[in-house]
A = this chain, B = another copy of it.
Amino acid sequence: MIDIKHFLRQNSLRPTKQRVIIANYLFDGVNKHVTAETLSNKLLKMKAGISLATIYNTLHDFYEKGLLKKLMINSERIYFDTNTEHHHHFYSKKDQKLIDINVDMKVSGLPKPPKNKKIKKIEVLVHLDN
């Protein structure tokens, strides 16, 4: 618990009760993909009475500090990824589930970007069938 408080302070975030609970869950060593909704459900099960507004605020705050990555997979909701390293994903629409691809992949045959633009990052999303 003290670790998490330090961790939050190191990232210029006040270790409030709510942030400590959420950070403890998110940064427990197991990479996770959460939405505001799935996180809210998890917290309800843990009987942490944290309002939806705080969940949104906290995800946003953690994102701002670079502790989470935002994933734009579909237009229905925003996914946050605790794995902030550059990596790719499998996505099963049916299961509404993302799986990290942590191995190095190479994209070859990429054309030049348009004039005056540079490539920021390449994102590969592998859609699964079933």
Contacts and interface: CB of A to CB of B under 8 A. Distances in A.
Question: Chain A contact residues (Cβ within 8 angstroms of B): what range?
Answer: 35 or more
What is the count of identical protomers in the complex? Answer: 2
B122 A127 contact: yes
A122 to B, nearest CB: 5
Given A72-B74, A128-B119, A129-B119, A105 B109 contact: yes
Say whether chain A's binding surface is mostly helix, strand, loop, or mixed: loop
A127 B121 CA distance: 5
9 contacts: A75-B77, A101-B110, A106-B107, A107-B107, A116-B130, A118-B129, A119-B126, A119-B127, A120-B128
Interface of A: 72-78, 90, 92, 99, 101, 103-111, 113-114, 116-130
